[in-house]
Structure 1
């Protein structure tokens, strides 16, 4: 879909209108995070010959549901008959895996690539498209991020997007295990699909 244009049916709001909706939905710090992810996603899209507008919109809206109350997610999980196992997790998982439904219904975005990029930006999955990889990584390496290894992650990602995905997936799983955090099953599937044959040292 590199050369496809987003139609008004797939994206009824302008970028400025989306920005205002994000600003209304998020704290100031989270709002500035999504703006940085938008720009990072666009930069990665240019590097990887992926539709820049689609990447920017996906980056912009990826955290739209991040600061909603838990009750909204629980209601959505039940209403849409999602896997009840989701109820054992929390916002860190929900805002992507469930949050894409709020993006679809409230921002009225119907483009499936954008919706899937939002859906999988926290846990990944085994067959991520280039756009999904871009949002997954842009969220991880945007300029406001500061953690051990982030500079290596940035360099890896801009040199080889797939290696960046493998790096983040490996580091995230290691962090969860080291800190005795629950691991969402999809995270393990993502790890098994992206890390063992990646060539990472």
Structure 2
């Protein structure tokens, strides 16, 4: 088993995988994830590290990601679905083999940062929301999600996932089942608990 890299070596490896705009996004996600972790009681170091790693494979050729996913028996629905999702699942595999990451919480946060899933951990929610709200993001509704993220992490995540689902439907694109299930899970849980804050 390889030794994990120190922070500077790890950042250099991450930087080498992507163009400048994607790297700036990555730094923004890492910082936003740290802030959300401090706000909601997740481990800020793990959140920051997962933020640094979340898009490790984002700029890789799709055929390279496909090969990794096939080799690791990923579900057919993922392989036949939107290629935009592949980098998170491939990244969760590659950060283990190339960077020596062994923490299952960080690996899962990378794996589910684009799709979400039922029963997301606090760290997974933090990284997923950070990916939406980091300072370089600019899309309709991002300000509302940022404001929600300061008051109710689940509300922010449900709103973000709901927006993604709506966008995909409007573009006549498939919605990955995990994303629908994650959204439904968040909304039904919050309904049982008395609704969202804010």
Instruction: Give your verdict on TM over 0.5.
Output: yes
1:121 corresponds, among 106, 113, 137, to: 113
Give structure 1 regions of 4+ aligned residues with deviation exceeding 3 angstroms: 196-201
The equivalent of 2:136 in structure 1 is 144
Match of 1:5? none
2:71 to 53, 69, 79: 79
The answer on 1:166 being equivalent to 2:163 is: no
Q: State the partner residue of 1:64.
A: 56
Aligned counterpart, 1:19:
11
1:30 equivalenced with 2:22 (yes/no): yes
Matched residue, 2:43? 51
CA distance in structure 1 between the partners assigned to 2:27 and 2:3 by the alignment: 18
Shift of residue 195 of structure 1? 2.6
Per the TM alignment, residue 12 of structure 1 is displaced from its structure 2 partner at its CA by 1.2
Kept in 2, the 8 Å contact 1:167–1:195? The answer is no
Give the drift of 1:85. 2.5
Is 1:193 the counterpart of 2:178? The answer is no
Name whichever of 132-141 and 158-167 sits farther off.
158-167
**Cα deviations across residues 149-195 of structure 1 (Å, max 9, x unaligned)?**
11110010111111111111111111111111111111111121113
Conservation of the 8 A alpha-carbon contact between 2:27 and 2:52: yes
Unaligned runs of 5+ in 2: none
1:78 Cα offset (Å): 1.8
TM-score (ref. length: structure 1): 0.90
Cα distance in structure 2, aligned partners of 1:138 and 1:88: 27
Distance 2:171 2:188 in 1: 22
Mind listing any 5+ residue stretches in structure 1 that lack a counterpart?
1-8
TM-score (norm 2): 0.92
How big is the shift at 1:197? 5.2
Q: Does 1:181 align with 2:173?
A: yes
* Counterpart contact for 1:170–1:195, Cα < 8 Å: no
Q: Tell me, yes or no, if structure 1 residue 101 matches structure 2 residue 101.
A: no
CA distance in structure 2 between the partners assigned to 1:197 and 1:56 by the alignment: 27
Q: d(CA) in 2 for partners of 1:98 and 1:126?
A: 20
| 1:117 positional shift | 0.3
Query: Would you say how many aligned residue pairs link Structure 1 and Structure 2?
Result: 193
